[in-house]
Structure 1
Amino acid sequence: MSAPSWGRRLLRTCAALLPLVGTAAYGGSAHAAGLAGPDARDVVLVGNSQSGTVSFLDARTFANLGTFDVIPDLQQRLDQMDLIQRTGYAIVKQVEGGDRFVDDVALSPDGRTMYVSRGNLDDTVAYDLATHRQLWRTRLDGFHADHAALSPDGTRWVVSATTANEAQVLDTATGAVVGSFPTGSYPHQNDFTPDGKYVYNSSIGVVSMPQALEFLKGSFQLTKVDAATLKVVKTWSFPHGIRPNVLAADGTTFYTQESYLNGFVRYDLDSARTTATVTMPFSPAGHALAPDSYPKNSAHHGLALSGDQSLLCDVGTIDDYTAVVSTADLSTVGRVDYPTGSLPYWAVAGGQGGRYCFVSLSQADQVSVVDLGTAREVARVPVGVFPQRERLAQLPQSVLDSLSAQG
């Protein structure tokens, strides 16, 4: 490669990563019913970010059924990085507080193929679960692969290319990038509507900047995209980074946590206005923590709706608790407290029609299972190192038998 080409690439790298360099110190998926077979189990996939594995939990018994290594090619990937990629990898690793190898995960509708966005490796891969063979690997634009979503029919895989400020769409059969769409600054969560017609993407802004410079973090935007054409249908602007969120079955009631907010908001997409802001209590440890020490600006990070839409599972990340909140009047009906420093960091509702809230306790290497009906913890399951994202899926027994011992 010529010197001018290297120079241009280096300039692009610096432009993408400049906000990180300057402030680094401040720091259920849908599936087609029955495709997995009559012997399929409802499972919760747990992405163990630091260990680079995915744990499979039985959604009914909560047992850890086994684990899958998603970075067997780690050294090969590191060895293949050029100077620009190594620079980006090193800076993102510093900002993330270490390696984050599993950002998001999903299973194909038949339960036989697993798709993973591999965070700091800035790529996404597909594995045949039965043979453990890597089917394809695709590197994304920018330097970090973030949240992802699988289309209900299993043909499209949407991944946020964080530092590139876009979401990229891949063909799940080949791993080829078939399109992309613009987002707000630092795109984060992606969600398909149940009918597969639309994708919602939310952005969090440049999280490495301190709270005092929030006006420089970029646009905090919810983007609605036509899944067939990848054209932006509508956007909504928020005053703060849009954290974990969930859209109610009515298609207009939007619940979301926001950067620095100890709680969540209810937002009406039709009228484009916040209809309620719910401030949750601080724990002593959370109250003592300065906002610039919140993990990636998140006070609360983890939000899920029960199957009947009557209850919200609100995860108090800095406060080490999970609160169960009634959607009728937004009152707290119960709370599960964890040991200080557990860092609860994500939530998904599943098992028995969405009766349970599965909460990843990142610093404890465990998943807490909360019965939403009683607001009590019914299980605590050991998983891998630094669990974060959790997704629902169905797993055939034949594939389950190929998993390694739990971890």
Structure 2
Amino acid sequence: MTDDNETPAVRRNDRRTTRGTAEEEASRGGTAAFTRRNVIRSTAGAVGVAGLTASAGGNGSATCEVMATCNAADGSVSLVDASTHEHIETVSVYPDEDEEDALEDALVDQVEPEIMNAWARENYIEHVNVSPDGRTLYASRGHVGDVVAVDVETGEKRWETELPGIRADHQKLGPDGRYVYTSDIAVDQIHKIDAETGEIVASGDVHQHPHGIHYHHLPAFDREVLVNGSLGNMVLPDHETGDPFPHRLTFLDPESMETLRTAEFEEGVRPIAITHDGRKAYVQISYFHGFHEYDIDADEITRTVELPQTEHVPEDEGDYPLQSAHHGIDISGDGEYVCVAGTTSWYVAIVRRSDFELVDTIEVGEHPYWVRTAPDGEHAFVPVRGEDEVAVINYEAAKEVGRASVGSQPHVTEYGAIPRDVL
């Protein structure tokens, strides 16, 4: 990894604030009452779904490196070959939609997301992770508000875990594959879920509206840490509400789920990328066309880059998709470049880390929405929601080198190695 250029910081501090504990508790208390699923559950007479056993260990067969892409509008996961950039197959995360638990499925798994989709957007799956042995997909099912484990080979559901809130958001699978950490966005918690049984074994409080999750060894804490970004207000643009909610990074102990530290930002924290050495985080902010460099050791913003806007950017921030000017960021394997999904500008940008200079922008189509670096470290996979495709960007060349057709409204892509005998 290259050394960081310690140029003077360029900050957007006009709205950066620090809020006290009393305000946090008041905002949290005001959220829980109307976000619980009690009304639907009492009407449906829904019961908990028994956890099934998780996937057995791998059998030593050759694996295929894939990028697993969530398709928010059809509740499926598209598997794309990380090397050839070709679509391999699609796995549904609703294998039992019309078969088991008819009352639960009809009134919760189907009706609830339809209500939420009408209010917000179609979201039948928010995030997916692949088990270390490559045989199980763990999917947070968006507006259904649950997490499921699905067998890649058979398509069968292994377990289903309902969350207390109405929306399951981003998640992270721990490096040893034992636990899935899922943001329960409406009740301000991250749940630690046993990957074998689906049991919620612990929860951590995160204010306000927990979103993306990272699991990383951070020298500042001398341990493995969960890092979560909070969105704050999700209804109206901040400038219209004076958004009183916290926007922050929260650092948690993945064992106890206790908060270790928080860092405040001026607007909702969107995707972040953490350097391989765990010392810097690149943080996207709701309505900002660019990103901050946050020094984790020093607990401060050290640099900021502002990126160009195109004719595609809506005049009214209220028309930004999901309140995001940009939504997607990652770092090349050699640490030289940052890749940014310029969601409202319909481009992908490559920024050089050493001097924060924009290398180039690549037009990819309507609403690029995520970035994940491929296992070779040289390419970034970027779902393009409006095109139902995933664009493949070469970091060094700063150009698109491949594209794969996937499902409807591709949302998030994550890496996994899946046995070839399973595909």
Task: Specify whether residues 125 and 261 from structure 1 end up closer, same or farther in structure 2 by C-alpha distance, changes over 3 A only.
Answer: same
TM-score, normalising length: structure 1: 0.85
- Residue in 1 that maps onto 2:212: 189
Moved over 4 A (4+): 11-14, 75-79, 81-91
- Residue in 2 that maps onto 1:105: 128
- Residue in 2 that maps onto 1:404: none
The CA deviation at 1:81 is: 6.5
Q: How far apart, in 1, do the equivalents of 2:95 and 2:35 lie? A: 29
Assess if the C-alpha contact under 8 Å between 2:97 and 2:105 holds in 1. no
The CA deviation at 1:133 is: 1.6
Q: How far apart, in 1, do the equivalents of 2:59 and 2:238 lie? A: 46
TM-score, normalising length: structure 2: 0.82
Q: How far apart, in 2, do the equivalents of 1:338 and 1:133 lie? A: 35
What fraction of aligned residue pairs are identical, expressed as a percent?
A: 31
Which letter does structure 1 place at the counterpart of 2:332?
Answer: S
Summarize deviations over 1:63-96 as a string: whole Å, max 9, x none.
Answer: 1111101113335678427989998645532332
SS in 2 for 1:308: coil
Q: How far apart, in 2, do the equivalents of 1:82 and 1:50 lie? A: 18
Which letter does structure 2 place at the counterpart of 1:261?
Answer: F
SS in 2 for 1:149: strand
1:16 to 35, 43, 47: 35
Q: How far apart, in 1, do the equivalents of 2:101 and 2:187 lie? A: 20
2:255 matches 1:228: yes
- Residue in 2 that maps onto 1:263: 290
Which letter does structure 2 place at the counterpart of 1:324?
Answer: I
The CA deviation at 1:16 is: 3.0
Q: How far apart, in 2, do the equivalents of 1:89 and 1:351 lie? A: 34
SS in 2 for 1:359: strand
2:368 matches 1:344: yes
Report 1:3-402 matches (<5 A): 15-16=34-35, 37=60, 39-75=62-98, 79-80=103-104, 89=113, 91-97=115-121, 99-193=122-216, 197-216=224-243, 218-286=245-313, 288-339=314-365, 342-352=366-376, 354-400=377-423
Summarize deviations over 1:18-47 as a string: whole Å, max 9, x none.
Answer: xxxxxxxxxxxxxxxx96845111110000
Q: How far apart, in 1, do the equivalents of 2:241 and 2:74 lie? A: 32
Segments of 5+ residues of structure 2 without an aligned counterpart are 1-29, 37-56
Assess if the C-alpha contact under 8 Å between 1:366 and 1:380 holds in 2. yes
The CA deviation at 1:216 is: 2.9
Which letter does structure 1 place at the counterpart of 2:372?
Answer: V
- Residue in 1 that maps onto 2:45: none
Segments of 5+ residues of structure 1 without an aligned counterpart are 1-10, 18-33, 401-407
Summarize deviations over 1:155-197 as a string: whole Å, max 9, x none.
Answer: 0001000101111110011000000001121100011115982
Which letter does structure 2 place at the counterpart of 1:15?
Answer: F
Task: Specify whether residues 45 and 84 from structure 1 end up closer, same or farther in structure 2 by C-alpha distance, changes over 3 A only.
Answer: closer
Task: Specify whether residues 83 and 357 from structure 1 end up closer, same or farther in structure 2 by C-alpha distance, changes over 3 A only.
Answer: closer
State how many pairs are aligned: 369
Q: How far apart, in 2, do the equivalents of 1:291 and 1:311 lie? A: 28
Q: How far apart, in 1, do the equivalents of 2:412 and 2:328 lie? A: 9
